[in-house]
Amino acid sequence: MSPNKRITMNDHAAEASLFKRRALFTFLCVLILLSLLFANLYQLQILSFKDYETRSNDNRIRVVPVAPSRGLIYDRHGQLLAENQPYFSLEMVPEKVDDISETLTQLSEVIALTDDEKQSVISALKYHRRFKPLTIKNKLTEEQVAVFGVNQHKFPGISVEAGLKRHYPYNGLMTHALGYVGKINSRDKNSLEQNNKWANYAATKDIGKQGIEKFYESILLGKPGHLEEEVNNRGRTIRTLKSESPTPGQDIYLTLDLNLQKKAMELLHGRRGSVVAIDPRDGGILALLSSPTYDPNQFVHGISSKAYSELLNSKSRPLINRATQGQYAPASTVKPHLALLGLENKTVSRKTRIWDPGFWQIPGVERKYRDWKRWGHGWVDVNSAIVSSCDIFFYDLAYKTGVDAIANFMAPFGFGESTGVDLYEETTGILPSKEWKRLRYNQPWYIGDTISVGIGQGYWTTSPLQLANAAAIMANKGRRFVPHLLKSIQDETAKIDSPPDELPPIELKNPNNWDIINQAMRNTAHKSRFTDAKYTAAMKTGTAQVFSVAEDEKYDADTIDESLRDNALIIAYAPYENPKIVLAVVLENAGWGGVNAGPVARALLDEYLLRDSWDEAK
């Protein structure tokens, strides 16, 4: 061995120590990784089991909402006013259709599709979720369903769906009372979501839009059910696991009388105007007609833009509910109420007499306020002033009373405020006062304004429903009810009557004043339209000016535009001794109230009060 060669000796102890450290580190790493693996398994299998089971079931189990049938609507005698009819619609799931435009073109060869229908589908796609069904065509006939069934294999993603849709068998007869249902739009959806009600509409596409349908939506809607279906990875149904039946909406009965409503429609015969009839014993509305009207069925399946535009732009304004939203000067129909005010505050008495030469003047003012009878009525008292509708008497009464006293007295009769009727479509009208004019126009009140109010003209406006309500209070001698359309609700076992909402009565200092005014209205009826009636009645007519006539001019209906002619009004009730019905009739631009509105009121009272005797005669 060479002396210069170095001999290396291995340090077995150091190597063993290094190996142990490396082995321990590797073991610890493996242990940590195994711990993490088992911790993750524990998290998945134990702690998160329910969550992942739910997710798995969501992929395997599909919950399909089932729409409830909407509650039916009947009149007071059980006549069906709103029903549900079966219908078929053609629907498409956009994500399952490759070329929608081409598909619609091919589809139109099988089922006739108009250009508007195809364009409507294309437009709707911009805002529609592609995995949700989109309606292509509504109201398929049985023949169309059969034809598509034969060709369905050519149109993947398109199917025929069956369901129930609202139908109004009397078309436009009850439109402004019942309203209608229509498709839920984005505004409806936002409102429902804000009020946490969207879940109730999971299975339905319709919602009450107006009238009773809207006001009692929560009662009529019902509660949706659901089906739990097991599906495969392609979404095809394998079996039904569970089902919960929907709860149908409750049926409701209204206070409306179908035959009386039909008679009112027949009498107005498309003329612009309104009829409201109330049972003064409980405030139930017997008839509520606005004319002209429209067919609500066209809104159920979606009205075309052209048809809606025609309704919206029509000069006769059929979309307006004249019974609750129409604003008319009450004219002479409020003279009984004004006379009652005069008796109450002792501005006049039963024996007060005023000379009517055909005109009246504010002291110290040259302008003359004319009576409708140009040569005057001579001496008049409270009774003859109401019977002959003497303007001079009420000019003088208003001048002596003042507008604020008139406003304060008339408010409890329901003027200038909502009646509380169970419809959202109602306006309050105007009951003018000094404060009202200051707030509305920032102008002072003039004495001439008061004179106009004294004969129901000027700023004073009211709806036919308000007129009928005020007349009912007069007939009831101060007893007041909130006018209403709901009579009862049908639950699972029986009909539950809706109690009338009675308000505090109007109490007079001298209750005999009720009799004085009502007797004057009775005399008015006896001397005009109800002389030969088989029942006793009370009434007051009115002729409302639509525009002002100058002092030295004469109103001539034949020489002015029809839209500027006077409105004809009447309030009436019968039987006089125990009133069962109160009427308010308004005919736009018809002329004299007694001549034009009077026959309508007489025919309606005959229809309602003599119906039983006619049935017996048959």
Number of domains in the chain: 2
User: Has residue 44 got a pLDDT over 50?
Assistant: yes
- What is the rounded CA–CA span in Å between residue 110 and residue 112? 6
Q: Give me the mean pLDDT over the 580-607 stretch.
A: 92
User: Has residue 601 got a pLDDT over 70?
Assistant: yes
213-231 pLDDT tens trace: 999 999 999 888 877 766 6
SS3 543: strand
Of residues 138 and 376, the one with the higher pLDDT is 376
356 in a known ligand binding site: yes
Of residues 332, 384, 389, 498, which has the active-site annotation? 332
- The reply to whether 132 and 276 lie within a common domain is no
Backbone angles phi, psi at 538, to 5 degrees: -135, 150
In a domain, 42, yes or no: no
The predicted structure's pLDDT at residue 37: 86
In a domain, 450, yes or no: yes
In a domain, 72, yes or no: yes
User: Has residue 9 got a pLDDT over 60?
Assistant: no
Residue 431 to residues 406, 425, 546, Cα–Cα distance (Å): 9, 19, 17
126-157 pLDDT tens trace: 777 776 777 888 778 888 888 888 888 888 88
Q: Give the range of the structural domain holding residue 211, as residue numbers without chain letter.
A: 63-254
In a domain, 43, yes or no: no
The predicted structure's pLDDT at residue 395: 96
In a domain, 12, yes or no: no
- The reply to whether 382 and 530 lie within a common domain is yes
| CATH of residue 246 | 3.90.1310.10
Domain end, chosen from 222, 239, 254, is at 254
Mean pLDDT over each residue of the chain, to the nearest integer: 87
- The reply to whether 250 and 266 lie within a common domain is no
- Taking the whole predicted model, whether its pTM rises above 0.95 is answered as no
Q: Give me the mean pLDDT over the 83-88 stretch.
A: 89
- The reply to whether 236 and 288 lie within a common domain is no
The predicted structure's pLDDT at residue 550: 47
Q: How confident is the model at residue 520 (pLDDT cuts 50, 70, 90)?
A: very high
- The reply to whether 207 and 294 lie within a common domain is no
For the ranges 64-68, 102-106, 238-242, 397-401, the one whose mean pLDDT is highest: 397-401
Q: How confident is the model at residue 396 (pLDDT cuts 50, 70, 90)?
A: very high
Q: Give me the mean pLDDT over the 371-379 stretch.
A: 91
390 in a known ligand binding site: yes
Q: Give me the mean pLDDT over the 287-313 stretch.
A: 91
- The reply to whether 324 and 447 lie within a common domain is yes
User: Has residue 554 got a pLDDT over 80?
Assistant: no
In a domain, 440, yes or no: yes
- The reply to whether 175 and 277 lie within a common domain is no
Q: Give me the mean pLDDT over the 328-345 stretch.
A: 96
- What is the rounded CA–CA span in Å between residue 313 and residue 200? 35
| CATH of residue 374 | 3.40.710.10
The predicted structure's pLDDT at residue 1: 47
- What is the rounded CA–CA span in Å between residue 412 and residue 466? 11
- The reply to whether 250 and 398 lie within a common domain is no
**Cα-to-chain-centroid distance, residue 358:** 45
The predicted structure's pLDDT at residue 55: 54
- The reply to whether 269 and 244 lie within a common domain is no
User: Has residue 6 got a pLDDT over 70?
Assistant: no
In a domain, 50, yes or no: no
* Catalytic site includes residue 309: no
- The reply to whether 362 and 411 lie within a common domain is yes
User: Has residue 241 got a pLDDT over 50?
Assistant: yes
The predicted structure's pLDDT at residue 518: 97
- The reply to whether 242 and 267 lie within a common domain is no
In a domain, 56, yes or no: no
Nearest Cα to 255, choosing from 499, 69, 442?
Answer: 499
Q: Give me the mean pLDDT over the 503-525 stretch.
A: 96
43-52, 413-422, 495-504: least confident range = 43-52
Cβ count near 330 (within 10 Å):
29
Residue 294 to residues 172, 182, 325, Cα–Cα distance (Å): 5, 15, 16
The predicted structure's pLDDT at residue 349: 94
The predicted structure's pLDDT at residue 4: 58
- The reply to whether 202 and 271 lie within a common domain is no
